[in-house]
Amino acid sequence: MPSIKKPVHKPLSDLEHRVLKVLWSSGSATSEQVQAALLPQHPLKDSTIRTVLRRLLEKGYATHRVEGRTFIYSGTEAPQSVAVRAFRQIIDRFCQGSVEQLLTGMVEHEMIDGKELQKLVSSLTKKKEK
* Cα 88 to Cα 12: distance, rounded to the nearest angstrom: 14
pLDDT tens by residue, 14-35: 999 999 999 999 999 999 999 9
Give the H or E element holding residue 65.
strand 62-67
Give the H or E element holding residue 37.
helix 31-38
Name all domains of the chain by residue range, CATH numbers in brackets: 14-75 (1.10.10.10), 99-130 (no CATH)
pLDDT tens by residue, 60-73: 999 999 999 999 99
pLDDT tens by residue, 35-88: 999 998 999 999 999 999 999 999 999 999 999 999 999 999 999 998 988 888
Highest mean pLDDT among 8-12, 30-34, 112-116, 124-128: 30-34
**Nearest to residue 56, comparing CAs of 80, 94, 28?**
28
Ramachandran category for residue 33: left, alpha or beta (phi over 0 → left; psi -120 to 50 → alpha): alpha
- Give pTM, 2 decimals: 0.73
